[in-house]
Amino acid sequence: MKKIVINSFALFSILFLACANNSGSEKESSAEKAASKENNLKRYSIKSGIVKYQITTSGKLMGGTVSGSGTKELYFKDWGAKELTKEDSKQITKINIFGQKKTDVAETHTIDKLDNGKSYSVDTKNKIIYVKQDPAMNMIKMFNNGDAEEVGKQMLESMGGKKIGTGKVLGYTCDIWEIPGGKQWIYKGLPLKIDMTMMGIHRVEEATEAKFDIDVPEKYFQLPDYPVQEIDMGFAGGMTEQEQAEMQKNAKKMAGMSYEEYKQMLISEDPEAAQMSEEDMKKSYEIMKKMAQAMGK
């Protein structure tokens, strides 16, 4: 079940942190357009910045309780084409089944870097760096001629998201988007607060410090001196027209899948999914269906 929860949060991170770009942002200047064209990838309507976040986690899972906390640092330049994030967090799971008490402590130390569509993920435990073409960035390039703003808006709306107003985080006026399972406060394409509940786990990620349009030294984008391993992500490395057609065909097939068919498929792929509540299962089905409908067009 832990894998399902982690994958669910990862899914939202890919779609909303990377794709939900520029909603409600100001009109671009000619200089911004030129920079976007030069870098071939523009994710934010902010040239550069450093943001620090506080993370809190709580909830109930499999007859137990989950609690945790952590910090996250974000460094970016070139309108988000180049970005590095570091996260250090701890999650404590306490389980009491038939009088048997068990406490599991999981620590997370991650370093991820995005450089003009190429993604680097540092495995700090095994001391290796995995590099691949970032799937979210390539999705932006595949749809709507690479219009990140339009892709982000369509992704949000296709998954049932809607803009419900504005609010301030650290004094910055953000667009508030309500999405399945939670809300996001987005400032010029950059989420400053994310409040999500997935599979009974409530996670809040909120900026505690933010500095924009500043010089961000190259040292903040340096990775550890570990061996690098290339990962072939298939469609992530670039799709042929035939592969794109096949992906859309599969998306249409999933869009027409009934709830029972989806449930059986999910459990067959991950037996632990059978422990999900009916409500959570139906929520994940609705999200999958909306995503498949958007991709199958």
Query: Mean of the per-residue pLDDT values for the chain?
Result: 78
Rounded-to-integer distance, Cα 291 and Cα 180, Å: 12
Q: How far apart are the two ends of the chain, measured CA to CA in Å?
A: 32
The size of the chain, in residues, is 297
C-alpha R_g of the chain: 20
Looking at per-residue pLDDT, the higher value among 101 and 274 belongs to 101
Q: Which of 224, 35, 250, 235 is nearest to 122 (CA)?
A: 224
Each residue of 249-285: pLDDT tens digit?
777 787 888 888 888 887 787 666 676 778 777 777 7
Predicted confidence at residue 288, as pLDDT, reads 73
Percent of the chain's residues with pLDDT above 90? 39
Lowest-pLDDT choice from 22-26, 73-77, 143-147: 22-26
Domains of the chain are 2-237 (2.50.20.10), 239-297 (no CATH)
Predicted confidence at residue 294, as pLDDT, reads 61
Predicted confidence at residue 161, as pLDDT, reads 84
- Whether residue 119 contacts residue 111, with contact meaning beta carbons closer than 8 Å, is answered with no
Predicted confidence at residue 212, as pLDDT, reads 98
Each residue of 147-199: pLDDT tens digit?
455 566 667 776 778 899 999 999 999 999 998 889 999 999 899 999 998 87
Asked whether residue 35 carries a pLDDT value surpassing 50, the answer given is no
Asked whether residue 45 carries a pLDDT value surpassing 90, the answer given is no
- 236-245: long-range contacts, CB 8 A cutoff, minimum separation 24: 236/132, 236/133, 236/134, 236/135, 236/138, 237/132, 237/133, 237/138, 238/133, 238/138, 239/138, 239/142, 244/142
Rounded to 10 degrees, what is the CA torsion of 119, 188, 207, 41? Answer: 10
Predicted confidence at residue 247, as pLDDT, reads 67
Predicted confidence at residue 48, as pLDDT, reads 97
Under the banding of pLDDT at 50, 70 and 90, the label for residue 123 is very high
